[in-house]
Structure 1
Amino acid sequence: MKAVVYSAPETYQVREVPDPVPAAGEVLIRVERAGVCGTDLHLHKGEFGPVYPLVPGHEFTGTVVDAAGDVEDIAVGARVAVDNTVACGSCADCRRARPAYCRRLVAYGVNAPGGFAELVTVPAARCFPVDDLVPDVAVFAEPAACVVHGLDVLDPAPGASALLFGAGPTGIILAQLLKSLGGVGDLTVAAPSQPKLDLVLERGADAVVRMDRQDPAAALRTLERRAPEGFDIVIDATGSTSVLELTVPLTRTGGTIMVYGMTAESARWPVPSYEVFRRELTVKGSFAQQFSFDRAIGVLRSGAVDTTGVITHRFGLEEYAEALNAVGDSACIKAVIQPGS
């Protein structure tokens, strides 16, 4: 089979590798769609804990084509979405119901072979049947699970006002679920791309503000006029420290800031600690997904998350370099790899 294989940061080949064989408890999946996201850019640079040689790709869906003899719950021929994480269940963090921080975590596409390949083996227990969803929808299960977990952490008060920075794939999912599940009463989304803002406006945002990517602070006055007392909730889904610097002045006294976007590991955000103290602000982070995969598939099934038109760029494995470049292109909303194309 063909796969993207990294040997070191920024060093990879698309090459033939042996077909994987399912071990006990595993199934073999023919990958139909694999999403490319900002995390893959960090992995490309050697951040986020990659283990080499690495086949990346942590957002994927496909059809089961083989299974170990002891697999009973997942049938050959089933389309599945894959939770790419396997926790040990017994370390200190697992025992505190924080599997994303498992000391022995296996993460397909990060420290185990992932979905940027024609075939991949994964534990049957991490597969969720999605025969009722087309691949273009099922591929959003993992990012939607991360957003559902983010809402678990955020726990917004019904009717709260919220400002969301970012209108990429995550921002689009966040905007929809903040309104439909989070109970947010008034949602403003700020981002550089007008087509992306138009999309979130169509899907539930109450207002949008276009920002200059090079000078996000230029939008500060517009956002202050939108909420003169500040927003109850301010979420950064961009991973930009220059955007994070806007969060404190735009948060209402007693409000909450959520760091959702992934910054570079070396990035530093100068937080005005006196303001956090004086105005009793809460700062939260949300990392990956925990106990939320089935609920994510539920919101995709129900239509609470509408992914129509979100995939704008499609690539074969041989076009992996173009796929990485597309993630940083403002004209791209979501890029996917279709290994068989």
Structure 2
Amino acid sequence: MKGRVAVLKAYGGEFELREYPVPEVEAGAILVRLSRAGVCGSDLHIWRGEMKEIYGASPQDLTFGHEMCGRVDKLGAGVTTDSMGQPLREGDRVTYLYFFPCGRCPVCLHDEMGSCPRKARPNRVAGTPPYFNNAYGEYYYLRPGHFVFKIPDEISDDIATPTNCALSQVLYGLRRAGLRAGHAVVIQGAGGLGINAVAVARDMGADKIIVIDRLPERLELARAFGADHTLSATELPTADRRVEAVKELTGGFGADVVADLVGYPEVIPEGLRMLRGAAATSRWAASRPATSSATTPPPSSAATRGSWPPPTTPRGPSSSRSLSFGATSRDFPSSGSSPTCFPSSASPKASSRRTGCSARARRTRRSRARPSRCEPQRPWNWGRRFSAKALTPSW
């Protein structure tokens, strides 16, 4: 039996579909037949050739993608349950982590598996056994030592697909930053991560959510997802003015938590100035090279939590909480956030043209994304009702 994998031969180019033999499933492993794959912001960076320092001057038959879900095609010997102890059978829908921490080093034992120095990640070069190593293919080979979660019936594939990425990251990051009911939080950046952070912060009981971005459509979406105040970085062009605006909105004291979801080092000193004393800032956006040498110190006793590379990379418990969030959270606006899904049978030409169109919340992240060829958006929601009950016990 063979399956197909989408292979990128040139940055910014089209994908080529190649066939590879479907591997036999070893003990402790799972073969998943994929039903959905998402396009993350990092996937856009890879496709555009903006991460050449990692992937080389040319893609070298690159395969990638990490947001996905599917059905169990084959279970390896000894696999009878998912990572939460739920019975697992062939045909069950699942989502899972796309990296494999050792689980034994001091970092893992401190509940920071995303930062495990020994963690493994599947090879991204096409033709490397077991061949199905990333999201853009018909199968995914989940090696032994995985974290896998059965998807509840009430959660659609559209909702489950990104739970192992942005949603897991913000659930874990805001918890690590110490966000609690009644807190004021500033979210720097309203892209895919930022919009998820708004929804999660609201669910966690934040009293005041302030979002900063340059794009009006992002700020509009942030308000629809629960932001109390939005600040335009275009209308407030200097850090001093943005800090002053945050102080005014928080009674002169500053925010309890500031989350950097932009990924530019320049915003870090600015975020620190927005904090009240002894508050915390959390970062979980991919950093780009600094263009300034700003070294503004944080307020007295302020704590910086989180980094990139993470501990805020999605982990087992965070992925489980993501599914709980999707099943129990209130309905969020469908317009502007619904994913467009492309079946695995889509032609490589169509797939490459539509790259960057998986979700409008992500699509607005960069002006160079290509929305014009997107299919019509299908309404969906995050779940049936708004409640933090499913998340609270594990915090």
What does 1:215-254 correspond to in 2, within 5 Å? 215=237, 217=239, 220=242, 221-227=244-250, 228-254=252-278
Q: Distance in 2 between matches of 1:56 and 1:336?
A: 21
User: Does the 8 Å CA contact 2:13/2:352 hold for their aligned counterparts?
Assistant: no
SS in structure 2 opposite 1:17? Answer: strand
Q: Match for residue 137 of structure 2?
A: 117
Pair 1:328–1:207, CA change in 2 (3 A): same
Q: Number of residues paired by the alignment?
A: 332
Give the TM-score normalised by structure 2. 0.71
State the AA in 1 paired with 2:355.
A
Q: Match for residue 28 of structure 2?
A: 25
Pair 1:270–1:284, CA change in 2 (3 A): farther
Pair 1:242–1:305, CA change in 2 (3 A): farther
Shift of 1:108: 4.4
What does 1:95-134 correspond to in 2, within 5 Å? 95-108=109-122, 113-123=133-143, 125-132=146-153, 133-134=155-156
Q: Distance in 1 between matches of 2:291 and 2:75?
A: 46
Q: Match for residue 314 of structure 2?
A: 289
Is it true that 1:279 corresponds to 2:270 in the alignment?
Answer: no
What does 1:260-271 correspond to in 2, within 5 Å? 260-264=284-288, 266-267=289-290, 270-271=293-294
Shift of 1:293: 1.5
User: Does the 8 Å CA contact 1:193/1:330 hold for their aligned counterparts?
Assistant: no
Is it true that 1:67 corresponds to 2:75 in the alignment?
Answer: yes
Gaps of 5+ in 1: none
Q: Distance in 2 between matches of 1:85 and 1:92?
A: 18
Q: 1:56 aligns with which of 52, 64, 72?
A: 64
State the AA in 2 paired with 1:35.
G
State the AA in 2 paired with 1:30.
R
Q: Distance in 2 between matches of 1:80 and 1:206?
A: 35
User: Does the 8 Å CA contact 1:236/1:244 hold for their aligned counterparts?
Assistant: yes
Q: Distance in 2 between matches of 1:222 and 1:91?
A: 44
Q: Match for residue 88 of structure 1?
A: 102
Gaps of 5+ in 2: 82-87, 126-131, 358-362, 376-395
State the AA in 2 paired with 1:20.
V
Q: Distance in 1 between matches of 2:368 and 2:273?
A: 27
Pair 1:201–1:300, CA change in 2 (3 A): same
Q: Match for residue 329 of structure 1?
A: 367
Is it true that 1:311 corresponds to 2:338 in the alignment?
Answer: yes
- Determine which structure has the larger strand proportion and give its number: 1
SS in structure 1 opposite 2:38? Answer: strand
Pair 1:93–1:62, CA change in 2 (3 A): same
Q: Match for residue 190 of structure 1?
A: 212
Shift of 1:16: 0.6
User: Does the 8 Å CA contact 1:54/1:110 hold for their aligned counterparts?
Assistant: yes
* Superposition RMSD in Å: 3.6
Question: What does the per-residue CA deviation read over 1:49-87, in whole Å, with 9 as the maximum and x for residues that have no partner?
Answer: 899765211111112223334433332211111221222
SS in structure 2 opposite 1:246? Answer: helix
Question: What does the per-residue CA deviation read over 1:76-107, in whole Å, with 9 as the maximum and x for residues that have no partner?
Answer: 21111122122222334334433223333123
Q: Distance in 1 between matches of 2:93 and 2:123?
A: 19
State the AA in 1 paired with 2:161.
V
Pair 1:270–1:32, CA change in 2 (3 A): farther
Question: What does the per-residue CA deviation read over 1:14-58, in whole Å, with 9 as the maximum and x for residues that have no partner?
Answer: 231304323322222222222222333455514568997652111
Is it true that 1:3 corresponds to 2:29 in the alignment?
Answer: no
Q: Distance in 2 between matches of 1:320 and 1:109?
A: 21
State the AA in 2 paired with 1:184.
A
Give the TM-score normalised by structure 1. 0.81
Q: 2:188 aligns with which of 156, 159, 165?
A: 165
SS in structure 1 opposite 2:135? Answer: coil
State the AA in 2 paired with 1:298.
S
State the AA in 2 paired with 1:129.
K
User: Does the 8 Å CA contact 1:240/1:263 hold for their aligned counterparts?
Assistant: yes
Q: Distance in 1 between matches of 2:94 and 2:253?
A: 46
Identity %: 20
User: Does the 8 Å CA contact 2:7/2:17 hold for their aligned counterparts?
Assistant: yes
SS in structure 1 opposite 2:276? Answer: strand
User: Does the 8 Å CA contact 2:202/2:226 hold for their aligned counterparts?
Assistant: yes
Shift of 1:177: 1.3
